[in-house]
Amino acid sequence: MAVDWPQLRVLIADDQRFLLGILFHIFKELGVRSENIHQAASGDDAAKMLAALPVDIVVCDINMGPGSGLHLLRSVRSGQAQTAKDLPVIFVTGHADAATVKLAQALDANGFIVKPVAKKQMQDKIEGVLANRKPLPAGKNYAGVVIELSEQMKAAAAMDGSSAARQEKVAQGNDKPKDESSAG
């Protein structure tokens, strides 16, 4: 099945603007029209966009917050997101540790690309995913999949200063959100 790139509607989600820009340009180079490329900076933002926009595929980071890519996929697969449960989701991530891959598999992720991503790699993955769509297993309890970021992901998030790491610190009471820290 050939992909109709100009008609493809894509949602890309990553908490790093630079990577969103790279993904946007990759999709433009593949022939996707600019107006069909939607961008979100977190899993929560992506979920809101899915409720408002029809898309054919989601390409997202795993380690972002609020709402990781795994949380987003769980909400799609469990029917909590206002979109088709079998919406193809491809992860583009720097985390390929066994625990993360196992969680992605438990949630029936359609693809997994380790960063950095190249245009040809993205093209091949999307063509493969769209050509080989399979129905989800009947009766699988996606809502029951427990998502806990691996220690490797937590450590990496803390080192790169990602919003997922900041959200974790705020949740633990070890840090204040940006808007409150400037109060003096």
CATH of the domain at 59: 3.40.50.2300
Give the position of tokens 């107006």.
35
pTM, 2 dp = 0.82
86: Cα separation from own chain's centroid: 15
Residue 178 resides in a domain = no
Residue 179 resides in a domain = no
Task: Per-residue pLDDT tens, the chain, 184 aa: give them.
Answer: 689 999 999 999 999 999 999 999 999 999 999 999 999 999 999 999 999 999 999 999 998 878 899 999 999 999 999 899 999 999 999 888 888 899 999 999 999 999 999 999 999 999 999 999 989 999 999 999 998 765 655 565 555 554 444 444 444 444 443 343 333 3
Residue 133 resides in a domain = yes
**Contact present, 13 and 91 (Cβ < 8 Å):** no
Which structural domain range is residue 156 located in? 5-173
Q: Which residues pair with 58 in a beta bridge?
A: 11, 89
Give me the number of domains the chain comprises. 1
| pLDDT, tens digit (0-9, with 9 covering 90-100), for 43-64 | 999 999 999 999 999 999 998 8
**Contact present, 49 and 38 (Cβ < 8 Å):** yes
